[in-house]
Amino acid sequence: MRAYLDLLRMPGILRITAAQLTARIPLGMLSLAILLHVEAQSGSYALAGGVVALVSVGEAIAMPITSRLTGPLGAWPTLLAAAGLHCAALLLLVVVPAEPWAMLALGVLIGASVPPLMPVVRALYPRLVPGDRLPALFALDTTAQELIWIIGPVVATLLAAGVSTSASLIASAVITVLGAVWFVSSPLLADVVLPRSSAVFGKSLLHGTVALAMVASFLLVASFMALEVGIVAHFDGAGVLAGVAIAVSSVGSLVGGLALGHRRLGLAGVVGSLCIVAVGTGLAGVSGDLWLILLALFLSGLGFAPALAAIYVMVSAVVREDAATEVFGFLNTASLVGGALGTALAGVLSESAGPTGAFAAATVLAVAAALSPAVARLAGPVAGLTAVKDAG
C-alpha cells in the first residue's frame, strides 16, 4: 500500500485519478440504463438489446479514431467536444419517440461519442510520473476502474426504480460532462500536449507487443463476460445471489490489483496472473457449493487487474508518444469486441448446455488468454521491461 500512498502524495495525481474515474462512472451505467429505458418506452427487450449492442459497436469503431484526433485537435478540445455530443445524444434518447430507427441510430451515436478519456489518460501516465512509479499508477487506474462496474449499475438501477428510467440517462450525461471538465481543468495537465501522430492509422498494431496486448485483452474480457453469463444462468431466479457473485469477483480484482499491480511483473507475471484467472474460472464452473463458487470467483478476480495493469505497462514501454492514444484506443476496442463475443458465445452455449456451457466457454477463453503471451514469446521477443519506443 505504501507505493500507492507515495504516488497519491505527488501533486495533482489524486485529482487526476478521481476526475477520470468520475467521468468514466457512466460507462458502468450505460448498458443497464439504456436497456431499462428503451424497454420501458417501447415494450421490446429485443429493441432494447439492439440499442445496447449498437452502443458497443459505435464505441468500438470510433474510439481509436477519436483517440488519434487528440493529437492534431488537442486532447482537451476533443474530450470536451465528445462529452458534449455524448450528453446531447443521451438527452435525445430521453425525449425521442419510441421509433426503432431513431433509438438504434442514437445507440450508435452514444457509443461513438464516448470521450476517449481512457486512452488519453493511459497515454499521459508515463509523462506524469517517473518510470519507477508507472506500474503503481497503472495498477491504481486498473484497480480503481472496478468501482465503475460496482457503482454504475447500482446507481442506474436505483434511479430507474426510484425516479424514472430517464433519470439514469440524464445522470449519465451530466456526470460525463462534469467529470470531463474536472479532468481537463487539472493544473498538472495545463502544459501537457499530446503529439500529432505521423504514422499510418493502425500501423502500430503490427508491433508484436501491441498485438499481444490486443489478443490478451480480447480473450481476458471475453472470458469475464462469458463468466458473468454463466453466473447469471447458474443462479437463475436468484438475481441477488448472481449480483453478489459478480461483485465478489470484482472485489478479488480490487485486492489483486492493490497487492500485485504495482510490481513490475513482466511477461512471466502476466502469464501467472492470467493463469490465476483461468484456474479460478474453471473451479467456479465445477463447484457445486455456494461458498466454493464464491471462493473460486474471488480467486479468478485476483489475477484480473494485475494482468491488465502489466499489459498496459508493457504497451507503454514500447509505444511512441505520438501513437500512444491510438494504441490504447485500439486496446479499448479489443476489450469491447471481446466482451460482446464472449457474452454472445456464452449465451448460445447456456441455451444448449445450461450454465456448464457458459462456464466452459469462460474457462477456455481464460486458458487461451494465459497461453497467448507464451505463444507470442515463442514467435519472437516481447518487449515490456525496457523503454524501447518503436511502435507507431
Query: Biggest alpha carbon distance in the chain?
Result: 56
Phi, psi (rounded to 5 degrees) for 174: -65, -45
pLDDT tens by residue, the chain, 392 residues: 677 777 778 878 888 888 888 888 888 888 878 888 888 888 887 788 788 888 988 999 999 999 888 888 888 899 999 999 999 999 999 998 888 899 999 999 999 999 998 888 888 888 887 877 887 888 788 777 777 877 887 788 788 878 888 999 999 999 999 999 999 888 877 666 666 767 677 777 777 788 888 899 999 989 988 888 888 788 875 556 777 787 788 888 888 877 776 666 677 778 888 999 999 999 998 887 888 999 999 999 888 888 888 888 888 777 777 777 888 888 989 988 888 888 888 888 887 888 899 899 999 999 999 998 867 665 555 544 333 345 45
C-alpha cell at 233: 444462468
Residue 145: per-residue pLDDT: 77
DSSP-derived 3-state class of residue 99 = coil
Cell numbers that stand for 216 in this block? 490478451
Residue 199 burial (CB count, 10 A): 14
- Hey, CA dihedral for 17, 18, 24, 28, is it positive or negative? positive
Other Cβ atoms less than 10 A from the Cβ of 45: the count is 11
What one-character DSSP code corresponds to residue 237? Answer: T
CA 31, 365, 386, 136 torsion: positive or negative? Answer: positive
**What are the two backbone dihedrals, phi and then psi, of residue 115, each rounded to the nearest 5 degrees?**
-60, 135
Tell me how far apart the alpha carbons of residues 164 and 172 are, in angstroms, rounded to a whole number. Answer: 13
Grid coordinates belonging to 355? 450454465
CB 391 within 8 A of CB 319: yes
Angle between helices 290-318 and 266-286 (to 10 degrees): 160
Cα–Cα distance for residue pair 215/333, rounded to 1 Å: 11
Phi-psi region for residue 40, left (φ > 0), alpha (ψ -120 to 50) or beta? alpha
- Runs of H (alpha helix) within the chain: 2-8, 13-42, 45-69, 75-95, 100-112, 117-128, 134-144, 146-162, 165-184, 208-234, 239-260, 266-286, 290-318, 324-353, 355-379
Which cell numbers in the block locate residue 230? 454463466
Question: Is-contact 318 209, C-beta < 8 A?
Answer: yes
The residue with cell 518487449 is 383
First and final CA of the chain: distance in angstroms? 35
Q: What letter would DSSP give residue 264? A: -
Instruction: Provide the CB-side half-sphere exposure for 310 (13 A, CA).
Output: 28
Calpha distance 35→104 (Å, rounded): 12
Q: State the amino acid at position 9 in one-letter form.
A: R
Contact 247, 150 (CB under 8 A): yes
| pLDDT value for 389 | 47
The pLDDT assigned to 386 comes to 36
pLDDT at 387: 35
Round to whole Å and give the CA distance between 315 and 210: 6
- Written as one letter, the residue type at 238 is A
- For residue 153, the number of C-alpha atoms closer than 13 Å in the C-beta half-sphere is 11
* Residue found under cell 443497464: 32
Reduced to 3 states (helix: H, G, I; strand: E, B; else coil), residue 386 is coil
For 53, the grid coordinates are 449492442
Is pTM beyond 0.85? Reply is no
Cell of 361: 466457454
Rounded Cα distance between 38 and 93, Å, is 8
